[in-house]
Amino acid sequence: MLEQLPLHSSETGWPWTEESQSLPVKKSDGSEWPRITIVTPSYNQGQFIEETIRSIILQNYPNLEYIIIDGGSTDNTIDTIDKYKAWISYWVSEPDKGQSDAINKGFQVATGKYGNWINSDDLLDKDALWTLASELDKQNRPVVYLGDYKEIDINGKLKRISRSYIRELEELVDIGGHWRNGKSNQIGQQATFFPVSLFREVGMLNPNNHYSMDYELWGRFLIAGAYFCPVHNTLGSFRVYDGQKISNRHKTTKSLIDTAYTLISDCPYWVRSKKKYHRGLILKYSVKYYYGYIRSIIGIRRRLKYLFRGIGVIL
């Protein structure tokens, strides 16, 4: 497929001059590969979106549905989408209510059995769907596949590779013990694939959750009885840079804490004592976090005070 796509003169490697391995058109028994839907929410990410689009198209997956929901971009995003429209199943550019709303809109029209969203500054890794294909449809229960994921910088340089060992709701809501334990234990959204029917069953993404909507979704999946199955290969890349929404660590942390409390309250099969225990863990983490946060604010203010005092300004 690589030779069919528009050329990009200055870039090399994946996904510019390389493509994923190809699967046979059909499985060995003659049946279709499970349809996989990828949704890309987009808004004024013109500097990244072409790389995102190519990383999905060049998976060479025989039964891929690719949907782009753009929020009305005013940069070069629309021109880039138009350049690749022959390989895009559906796309629209219109105002939306934010990232979660855009993703939900995409999955409302999706026809895939499994799916994920890849943000317009992130990537699927080479051979991601080729790797995933061998894992699909092996179990008669709702399965969420957790791949390893890369963290890359604004230029695509690898920072680290992470793997999550979270498998239960108890682990997910223990923010200090698991999600933020200093060992890269977070679930990488870019490398997580789920049944589209399950996504709809749990109410899709919470459009009012702007900082931890994926974390909330994993909790909803676990409450619904999904099995989290590891895929020990890198499936996606998460681009980390200043200015992106989650770079605001304080707002993200506050959202995580609030969401964890909500998940505990909403779990129908946890007894009162168990809920109380896990609320206690969150409270312990919250106190530690806010103590450090307040100390950092006071420390910054003191440093600024001494700085400006030295130049004759009184705070």
User: Final residue of a domain: which of 227, 242, 266?
Assistant: 266
Looking at residue 181, its amino acid is N
- List the one residue out of 114, 166, 141 whose CA is nearest residue 226: 141
In a shared domain, residues 147 and 276: no
Lowest mean pLDDT among 160-174, 221-235, 291-305: 291-305
Burial 296-313 (b: 16+ CB within 10 A, else e): eeeeeeeeeeeeeeeeee
pLDDT score, position 274 = 98
Q: CA-to-CA distance for 192 and 204, rounded, in angstroms?
A: 15
In a shared domain, residues 287 and 151: no
Q: How far is C-alpha 116 from the geometric centre of its chain's CA atoms? A: 8
In a shared domain, residues 202 and 298: no
In a shared domain, residues 84 and 119: yes
- The tens digit of pLDDT for each residue in 231-265 reads 999 999 999 998 787 778 899 999 999 999 999 99
Mean pLDDT across the stretch 2-30?
A: 91
Task: List the structure tokens of 274.
Answer: 């168990």
| pTM given for the model | 0.93
Confidence band of 307 (pLDDT split at 50, 70, 90): very low
Q: Is the peptide bond before 15 cis (omega within 30 degrees of 0)?
A: yes
Beta strand segments in the chain, E: 36-42, 64-70, 90-93, 114-117, 123-124, 143-152, 158-162, 192-195, 227-239
The answer on pLDDT for 299 being more than 80 is no
Mean pLDDT across the stretch 296-311?
A: 61
For the chain, percent of residues with pLDDT exceeding 90: 85
The residues that bridge with 42 in the sheet, in sequence order, are: 70
User: 242 or 169: whose pLDDT is higher?
Assistant: 169
In a shared domain, residues 140 and 192: yes
pLDDT score, position 313 = 45
- Would strands 227-239 and 123-124 be described as parallel, antiparallel, or unpaired? antiparallel
Domain count for the chain, please give it: 2
- List the one residue out of 235, 145, 146 whose CA is nearest residue 195: 145
The answer on pLDDT for 300 being more than 80 is no
The answer on pLDDT for 74 being more than 50 is yes
Quote the domain boundaries for residue 211: 2-266
- The tens digit of pLDDT for each residue in 79-107 reads 999 999 999 999 999 999 999 999 999 99
Q: CA-to-CA distance for 57 and 53, rounded, in angstroms?
A: 6
In a shared domain, residues 67 and 39: yes
pLDDT score, position 315 = 42
- The tens digit of pLDDT for each residue in 256-291 reads 999 999 999 999 999 999 999 999 999 999 999 998
The answer on pLDDT for 306 being more than 60 is no
Distances from the Cα of 183 to the Cα of 165, 180, 210, 231, angstroms: 10, 7, 24, 18
CATH number of the domain bearing residue 178: 3.90.550.10
In a shared domain, residues 254 and 297: no
- List the one residue out of 95, 109, 87 whose CA is nearest residue 43: 95
For the chain, percent of residues with pLDDT exceeding 70: 94
In a shared domain, residues 207 and 262: yes
